[in-house]
Structure 1
């Protein structure tokens, strides 16, 4: 300015009194990778493109069929398989003297669409979607009872390619692949390890996993599925991963979304053989008459009115279709808690909206080996039913369950929040002089940010000095060579709040006193 002063007079020079405000990064932005009904909007394909959405309506506009009144967005196929004797599980239908189990066509089962709906039912907001393709052709046959459901249309190469597209996206804070459990065990292991590797590379997101076998867990041998999961997640990035068990029974799909076309591949002759009511035979004859002019909805309503057997079948069909992996719902729970409190609040001891049942009800003794594993240390968070309280998320651990630093999910997520916010705040000072003024400005802006977190309850301590410290200076965090080499080192320490997972109550009798 001095070089511009040439005329005598009074000049004003304004100087900034405050440092630049520190903007917090988003903490709850899941990225869903999987198969969608559709991926076309305004003539543009959205396949294999990380697309940010802000609402369920926006998802439906881009990834669903435009004429929802005529085309089902998701149409799984199921078969009623006759059994020679009463099935060992409760999941069967008795029609007359015969027993039937409901088995899906594996190649028609997909989870992303309903997982997105469950996410928004639980308070979801911003999210990313990577559609790796639309639905494939059905196999035309039922799954084998007791075996894992493997969808041959779900490809490991598709999901890993979609996941790789997120590497350059800095905003997502959660990676979710709802259809991962539809892969083979080996392919699922590869995908999970790729997700954890990506989390460690970006350092911005956790990976939320579902577990193969948790859709129909055996009450005796369910730990075999847990051990298989633990042995397949590898050893890299465990503190960036979290798993939830088992699947959850939801109310996401409504009765109007399923009808007789979801049975036997639409073959009404196989359905007719199961319905003993006379009125049902008349309705089916009318359905087969091309000139009748009745719609699928009218025919379905007519069957529901005349056949209690058909009502029973459709009720079980809806229950089967509503069994979903919990990852999408957990993303919504985390989003709600972050918006109300912050990422430092554990996403546990709370319910998942829309969840009404569980395929396996764990007790304390059964959850113990899931929560704490002395060998691998890979904790699995349980979703449990409690009398008079309902279904609750009963765990908040990462896969690195034996780590004193990173065993809790909210600790890892809070540190991601602090790290990325500080990184963003420090960028304006790149290429600034590495002098005392710059170092003090950086220290002040970070200290103010951490003080706000402490006031909000995210850090523990009676005073700010007990909750955090920020050091940056010559002789404390740097030496002369650091300055010559262009390095400015900032040392930050924070005291994280740990949950009281185990509350010990001690009772002692006291002697009677006069």
Structure 2
């Protein structure tokens, strides 16, 4: 208070307690990709980060799912792809003919696995091709957003391999080089293929091309996932571009089902049973012909149900299409797992040994021996495996960063815990910028940080039987600062923490002993 000049009683209030450190949010991912639209009212959201909290909000601002179109074609003689359908002596493959987009389906997978608040950066709509330049342009838009703690770009795997790696390297540079308060969750290009696939080892290619910069700010997961995001009701014959080929195949199937009617005399065809079969054949052929002219949503739904019930071939085609659409990279799913584990246990709990929702199986089954090279390698680029176990389902079976040989940053939970501690303390310490660099300020900061770390220790985020074993805070002249530091306006605080690490390897020793009775 000011100098007292008038006689009287003056009340002086002093703060008895230091400011508190508020724990920052730890599970707020940012997704970059293509959407149907990007608009809020009359304002465009293109290339602008926008916070949402549910799939309903995503649909409100960014629209619905893409409308995929597939073509049925005879399988080339030199193709290694498995045939989708076989009719007589001909094999057919089904491939998507229009541009593929993944963000909408990835967001559904994110929310089904525990996702919550997140940021969306739409870099284009469904009339645009998926290009590396557009995805790269979405990354700098996140520079002014302090809340995101994760970055995922699922559609990067739709690019050519070198372009995909370029986008992932830019993600690493953004997370570990510029912001240093978020981690990148990466997908392995061609991660739906086995490592022994004739096209090459996708893991080896990923490791050799990614480089070595900022690996401790990222994690990668393999393989991709067979999901249940796209349902049967989402598909119909309208998703097949070359309807004429579909009609021809269905007619061939119908004809093959009634071959016993060929060659019968008129008298034989006039029998009641054969008349019914002829009528059924003609009706089925009529239904197939109507594929080319049917219009209206109600008629399309009705015809789709009719074809599904009468034609196994038609169901096989839709099942193959559904399987292709449901094959998704795991980054968005893992962002949801991070969120769920953080909310239930805390950021210091490794996001592993957790089952995945809306997932049927991993695209590649990985054995115990096959995971050895994924988890521990001389290059240190650990890839976290997603595996299926009998009676348990599909589990995340890895908790490492790409910097797997580092004793400091080997585990993703350690990196994310340190980010949370650093950001929480940094934001709380901003209140003391321009305060006198004296012992009173030092004591206040020490108490504030100590109280915060004690709370984290009590919740299990720091290792140690007592707080003194878990952390220490030092600040003061002769301890962390010199007289020159004070003259230059520098206040230095040293915080040492013992972050909990996951029990990745549990060894149980068995030994025989002498009989005692």
TM-score (normalised: structure 2): 0.90
Is the 1:181–1:212 contact (alpha carbons within 8 Å) kept by the matching residues of 2? yes
What corresponds to 1:145 in structure 2?
none
What corresponds to 2:449 in structure 1?
446
What whole-Å deviation, never above 9, does each CA across 1:333-392 have from its counterpart, x for those lacking one? 000110111110000001111111222100011111111111x21010010011111110
Offset at 1:269? 1.1
Residues 1:61 and 2:36 are matched in the alignment = no
What corresponds to 1:115 in structure 2?
106
What corresponds to 1:144 in structure 2?
none
- Give matches, 1:71-470, under 5 Å: 73-83=65-75, 92-105=84-97, 107-136=98-127, 153-200=129-176, 201-217=178-194, 219-220=196-197, 224-263=201-240, 265=241, 267-275=242-250, 276-277=253-254, 278=281, 279-289=283-293, 295-374=299-378, 376-470=379-473
Is the 1:92–1:99 contact (alpha carbons within 8 Å) kept by the matching residues of 2? yes
Q: Which runs of 5+ in 1 are unaligned?
A: 66-72, 138-152
Is the 1:85–1:99 contact (alpha carbons within 8 Å) kept by the matching residues of 2? no
SS of 2:162's partner is helix
Offset at 1:189? 1.6
Offset at 1:319? 1.5
Offset at 1:112? 0.7
Offset at 1:169? 1.1
1:412–1:35 distance in 2 versus 1, CA, 3 Å: same
Is the 2:195–2:202 contact (alpha carbons within 8 Å) kept by the matching residues of 1? no
SS of 2:135's partner is helix
SS of 1:273's partner is helix
1:334–1:292 distance in 2 versus 1, CA, 3 Å: closer
CA-based RMSD: 2.1
SS of 1:52's partner is strand
* Distance in 1 separating the partners of 2:76 and 2:495: 67
1:362–1:89 distance in 2 versus 1, CA, 3 Å: farther
1:14–1:313 distance in 2 versus 1, CA, 3 Å: same
Provide the aligned length of Structure 1 versus Structure 2.
Answer: 487
* Distance in 2 separating the partners of 1:504 and 1:396: 18
Offset at 1:400? 0.3
What whole-Å deviation, never above 9, does each CA across 1:211-268 have from its counterpart, x for those lacking one? 11112435556871111111222221100010000110111111121111212x2x32
SS of 1:31's partner is strand
1:212–1:513 distance in 2 versus 1, CA, 3 Å: same
Q: Which stretch shifts more, 321-330 or 298-307? A: 298-307
1:193–1:243 distance in 2 versus 1, CA, 3 Å: same
* Distance in 1 separating the partners of 2:72 and 2:362: 22
Offset at 1:131? 0.2
What corresponds to 2:513 in structure 1?
510
Offset at 1:90? 6.2
What whole-Å deviation, never above 9, does each CA across 1:99-135 have from its counterpart, x for those lacking one? 3333223x42111111111111111111000000011
* Distance in 2 separating the partners of 1:343 and 1:293: 47
SS of 1:3's partner is coil
Offset at 1:291? 8.3
* Distance in 1 separating the partners of 2:475 and 2:296: 82
* Distance in 2 separating the partners of 1:112 and 1:28: 19
* Distance in 2 separating the partners of 1:94 and 1:346: 46
Is the 1:280–1:307 contact (alpha carbons within 8 Å) kept by the matching residues of 2? no
Offset at 1:75? 1.5
Larger radius of gyration: 2
Offset at 1:484? 0.6
SS of 1:80's partner is strand
Offset at 1:4? 5.6
* Distance in 1 separating the partners of 2:113 and 2:405: 30
What corresponds to 1:491 in structure 2?
494
Offset at 1:513? 3.6
Q: Which runs of 5+ in 2 are unaligned?
A: 255-280
1:442–1:308 distance in 2 versus 1, CA, 3 Å: same
SS of 2:201's partner is helix
1:246–1:291 distance in 2 versus 1, CA, 3 Å: closer
Offset at 1:280? 4.3
Is the 2:221–2:385 contact (alpha carbons within 8 Å) kept by the matching residues of 1? yes
TM-score (normalised: structure 1): 0.90
Q: Which stretch shifts more, 356-365 or 214-223? A: 214-223
Is the 1:75–1:258 contact (alpha carbons within 8 Å) kept by the matching residues of 2? no
